[in-house]
Amino acid sequence: MTDLRHRGATEKELQHQHSEDKGSETEGKERDGASDNETKSDSGVPVSADDTPEVLNKALSGLSSRWRNWWVRGILTLAMISFFFFIIYLGPIVLMMIVMCVQIKCFQEIITIGYSVYHSYHLPWFRTLSWYFLLCVNYFFYGETVTDYFFSLVQREEPLRILSKYHRFISFALYLTGFCMFVLSLVKKHYRLQFYMFGWTHVTLLIVVTQSHLIIHNLFEGMIWFIVPISCVICNDIMAYMFGFFFGRTPLIKLSPKKTWEGFIGGFFATIVFGILLSYVMAGYSYFVCPVEFNNDSNRFTVDCEPSELFQLQSYGLPTVLQSITGWTTVKLYPFQIHSIALSSFASIMGPFGGFFASGFKRAFKIKDFANTIPGHGGIMDRFDCQYLMATFVNVYIASFIRGPNPSKVIQQLLALRLDQQLHIFNSLKAHLTEKGLLPALEEAA
């Protein structure tokens, strides 16, 4: 009887434990819905298909897959470089528009992955809010850019002056509207997933929009600050692939098994040489070195100026070792060429980590490429993963070692002061220039 009671108690405990396990399993599924769904997403995430043009497929059909991929990548790389030269020819405004288009496409690729991963949950307003936040952030950043660099144009037009004056308040109001829309869209059974995707969208905005904004800031400093860094990353990508393809034996990092030390080192030295040569060629043309400015007289954007000392040839003495090898005592270089060594080094050493980061992201979702926009190369984000780190570095480098205070921004702040404050600053500036001996010279010239 005791055994029966004991057995009955045990069965009840087992049933109770089973029900608890079942409940905890259900709770765990609800708690870890994201990870469960990632497993389901193996078929949900768009898988890159072979989008190679049929003409190339037929022409390269007799080659092995290794050499076929080499030729496809090479031909399409040349096509992309040709397109890059073409948009440079079209001028800085077209370059800005291209940067904007690339930003939108990269954002779309990343958001599409998130939407595909969690598609089965039918999260309300996810895509709508994602694109709305993209609009808000772009309005804020590009509004700040227009106000900083085209102050004279903004002051001339009354609507632009009003938008500029209340720009940050309008931007905050727009973001607050999206924030409230997100809160109103919360559904009880999807709370955690909705917050996951809210974070997904904001991290994507941080990675994509902020960096593209910095690229445009670099472009305003002169097209050379845009072209040289981007070209160094492209050169490093190509040369690392070439050295790795022909000489690669030693794996570099587990995240990217095809990357090799031979490719990494070969790409580094090739990029340094390329950066110095490209800088020498471009520094001689004012079209590339002058900042982009708005001309009030012609109502056009211009890139005409007197090049700064950074873009004027100077003589540098060579170390004794190099003198004995070359027979030269001095060499003439543009100071920008010395800066290009820093840019090339970053593109070769730190730039690839943007690619490693993207590789880790793709491995997390078991996908080969972000999209199949470019045959043999994947999506737009696959081609620009290294460029975003480079954009931040160039912007920080310019602010730290090249650029001084922004005159347009100083004038903007002065004009916002009261008249008596402006008069006080005028008298202080006049006294300072007189003390330096500059004001009498200006008066005599007048």
β 314-317/330-333 pair status = antiparallel
Task: Give pairs for 28-37: CB < 8 Å, separation 24+.
Answer: 30/189, 30/192, 31/192, 33/121, 33/192, 33/193, 34/118, 34/192, 34/193, 34/196, 37/117, 37/118, 37/120, 37/121, 37/193
CA distance 303 to 286: 7
Average pLDDT over residues 244-271: 90
How would you class 46 by CB atoms within 10 Å of its CB: exposed for 0-12, middle for 13-18, buried for 19 or more? middle
Q: Look up residue 306 and give its two tokens.
A: 């007197």
Average pLDDT over residues 221-232: 93
pLDDT of 416 over the 80 cut: no
Give percent of the chain above pLDDT 70.
81
Full-model pTM? 0.76
More confident residue, 82 or 55: 82
pLDDT of 155 over the 50 cut: yes
More confident residue, 49 or 262: 262
| pLDDT tens per residue, range 28-81 | 433 343 333 334 444 455 555 555 666 666 667 767 777 777 777 777 778 888
pLDDT number for residue 133: 97
pLDDT of 174 over the 70 cut: yes
More confident residue, 420 or 374: 420
- Using CA atoms, how far residue 52 sits from 32, 258, 304, in Å, is 38, 21, 43
